[in-house]
Each structure stands twice: as structure tokens, then as C-alpha cells.
Amino acid sequence: MLELSVLPLDAIFDFSTKMLAFLAGLAALIFVHELGHFLAARKFGVVVEKFALGFGPKIVGFTKG
């Protein structure tokens, strides 16, 4: 009989959980990094029209003023 599943389900769930945690942490680090650019630009008088992460379509946004 051919075994279709090589990994047990708990190993797949464990990997998926760790991968999602890693991606969430990476996204948080990138956000803080880009926020640093934004705050430094504002401090030195650079007019910042947009603050964005990535190049994809806008998912969430707000307008100030």
C-alpha cells in the first residue's frame, strides 16, 4: 500500500504555526524599519505624502487633514 502522507499532521501544524509567527515578526520588523524612515524624514522637514509598505494594492489607508 502506498503511504500518501509522509509527515504526521502535528508536524505540519507545528511548521505552519512557526512559519506564520516568523512572517508576522518579519512584517513587524519591516513596519518599524519603514516607520523610522518616515519619522526621520518628518523630523528634518521633508514633506511625506504617503507611508506605505510594499507595492501591492492598498488594503488599509487613512487621510490626515
Q: What is the pLDDT of residues 3-27, one digit of tens each?
A: 656 778 888 889 999 999 999 999 9
Amino acid making up residue 13: F
- pLDDT for the residue 44: 96
Marked catalytic residue, from 12, 17, 34, 39: 34
- How many angstroms separate the CA atoms of 57 and 50, rounded? 14
Domain ranges of the chain: 7-65
**34 flagged as catalytic:** yes
Asked whether the beta carbons of 42 and 48 are under 8 A apart, the reply is yes
Q: What would the pLDDT profile of 51-64 be if each residue is shown by its tens digit? A: 777 776 777 777 77
The DSSP output letter for 27 is H
Read off the C-alpha cell for 47.
514633506
Residues in the chain: 65
